[in-house]
């Protein structure tokens, strides 16, 4: 913990640069967001300080409108606050993360980006580009500088490394994505191989990918709300220096990596005292976490925001929303999972407590990024499995889906909602909502069009018995009486 006090005119880099160790860039990370900095980079920092890992992270900005310039302004340094229960006690502690060497914007510095492949020390590649990030973009070309998609950028980097080192088996890398999609490592590998085929990169490159590079699927678990904009003045005074990249996260963390046993020798997580597991099969961990924690987060987000609750904590303390979330978890999500009920219930109780963590200010609008793909990944499997097992619709999840569709109208009363999603999705909803004239029939047609759009769901959801009618009724009530009364009606109808 940092205990010294400095004049407030000091910046974090003026204080810490002369203290840090400059380790080789053995890690390339796609994504500069709060989560990776509060989870992966924190773990790298811990392994450096406690287990002799001796690695630094070069961060690649995956989107054109990223923030690596802020990171470079601070020479990669930032402060992480961890707040919540630790060994049964409420703890708030902070540390300076020194593991990041620099950030690279490939849209402005493509030469620097591709040069990362020439580093003989490079061993690991991590990523978190949201659920929408691991996707095949057929228009990407090897000659693009850069490619539009994360897998396209990654393929170009790996191909350059293959060429630069003449296909050396010693220069393969370990790739561990953190995006919350099922079998993320397998999916990323599949898309990289698609690009290798599309770009005619040759059999030798494909064999090098298969034989000497390892794609590990992984599961991440830590709530990282990010920059504490409501309390930054108090934090700055406590720190004694200015830090524009402060990150706040909870104490709890879990990283489950499905990989070969020899990976434990290369990634010294046990020696660093981290709750990171390298396992043969991550499936049970993933189903429990993604369905309960992430599923509840995504399901509650549009309801909470449209009820004018800005944070997860505020929403959980609201009588109606808190009741809704608990019933969603215990009555609709848990019955679709195959782990022992006692284990699932204990985990769910822990999740509810984490949602109520008084230290954490987790804005629901931050969770709302790419909400459509998040619902498809986190909540739709639960909805479909519930129907399969119970032979009727899960009312809370259907209400959440209705609220999500209403959220994508882009209005909260007279206030414009700053929706953040792919342009194609935002354009689709804008065009579809413009056809609704307030009548039941126009709403019914609108819902039919949304549910059968495979760009959103990769299947025709309008075929589910009663789903179009139920969502139409929910949306009519939301439109004419407001989200609060619609939520109350949902709670009353399912008691």
Q: What is the pLDDT of residue 5?
A: 45
What sign results for the dihedral spanned by CA atoms 460, 464, 468, 473?
A: negative
Prior bond of 70 cis (ω within 30°): no
Positions of the chain with pLDDT under 70:
1-9, 17-19, 85-88, 494-495
Could you report the per-residue pLDDT of 359-415, keeping only the tens digit for each? 888 899 999 999 999 999 999 999 999 999 999 999 999 999 999 999 999 999 999
Residue 264 token pair: 């434990």
Q: What is the pLDDT of residue 478?
A: 97
Domains of the chain, by residue range, sit at 12-279, 283-493
In CATH terms, is domain 283-493 a member of 1.10.1040.10? yes
12-279 CATH, one of 3.90.650.10, 3.30.1490.190, 3.40.50.720, 3.40.190.10? 3.40.50.720
Q: What is the pLDDT of residue 218?
A: 97
Q: Is the pTM of this model over 0.85?
A: no
Q: What is the pLDDT of residue 7?
A: 47
């Amino acid at each position: 913990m940092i205990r010294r006090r400095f004049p407030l005119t000091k910046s974090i880099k003026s204080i810490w640069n002369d203290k840090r160790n400059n380790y080789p860039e053995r890690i390339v990370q796609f994504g500069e967001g709060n989560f990776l900095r509060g989870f992966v980079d924190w773990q790298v920092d811990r392994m450096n300080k406690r287990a002799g890992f001796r690695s630094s992270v070069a961060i690649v900005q995956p989107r054109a409108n990223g923030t690596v310039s802020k990171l470079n302004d601070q020479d990669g340094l930032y402060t992480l606050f961890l707040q919540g229960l630790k060994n049964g006690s409420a703890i708030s502690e902070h540390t300076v993360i020194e593991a990041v060497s620099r950030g690279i914007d490939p849209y402005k510095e493509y030469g620097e980006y591709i040069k990362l492949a020439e580093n003989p020390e490079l061993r690991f590649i991590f990523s978190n580009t949201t659920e929408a990030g691991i996707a095949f973009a057929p228009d990407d070309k090897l000659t693009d500088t850069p490619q539009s998609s994360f897998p396209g950028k990654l393929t170009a980097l790996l191909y350059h490394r293959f060429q630069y080192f003449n296909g050396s088996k010693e220069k393969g890398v370990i790739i561990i994505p953190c995006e919350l999609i099922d079998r993320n490592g397998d999916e990323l590998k599949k898309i990289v191989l698609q690009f290798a085929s599309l770009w005619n990169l040759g059999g030798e490159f494909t064999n090098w990918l298969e034989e000497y590079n390892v794609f590990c699927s992984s599961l991440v678990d830590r709530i990282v709300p990010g920059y504490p904009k409501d309390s930054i003045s108090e934090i700055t005074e406590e720190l004694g220096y200015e830090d524009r990249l402060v990150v706040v996260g909870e104490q709890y963390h879990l990283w489950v990596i499905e990989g070969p046993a020899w990976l434990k020798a290369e990634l010294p997580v046990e020696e660093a005292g981290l709750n990171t597991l390298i396992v043969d099969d991550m499936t049970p961990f993933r189903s429990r976490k993604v369905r309960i924690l992430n599923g509840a987060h995504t399901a509650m987000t549009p309801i909470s925001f449209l009820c004018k609750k800005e944070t997860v904590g505020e929403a959980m303390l609201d009588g109606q929303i808190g009741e809704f979330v608990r019933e969603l978890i215990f009555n609709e999500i848990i019955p679709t999972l195959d782990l022992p009920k006692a284990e699932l219930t204990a985990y769910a109780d822990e999740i509810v407590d984490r949602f109520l963590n008084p230290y954490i200010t987790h804005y629901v609008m931050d969770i709302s990024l790419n909400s459509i793909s998040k619902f498809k990944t986190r909540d739709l499997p639960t909805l479909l499995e519930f129907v399969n097992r119970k032979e009727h619709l899960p009312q809370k999840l259907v209400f959440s889906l209705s609220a999500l569709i209403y959220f994508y109208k882009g209005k909260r009363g007279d206030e414009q909602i700053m929706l953040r999603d792919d342009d194609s999705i935002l354009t689709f909803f804008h065009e579809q909502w413009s056809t609704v004239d307030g009548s039941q029939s126009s709403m019914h047609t609108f819902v039919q069009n949304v549910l059968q759009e495979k760009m959103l769901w990769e299947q025709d959801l309008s075929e589910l018995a009663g789903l179009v009618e139920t969502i139409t009724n929910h949306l009519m009530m939301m439109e004419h009486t407001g989200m609060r009364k619609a939520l109350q009606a949902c709670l009353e109808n399912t008691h």
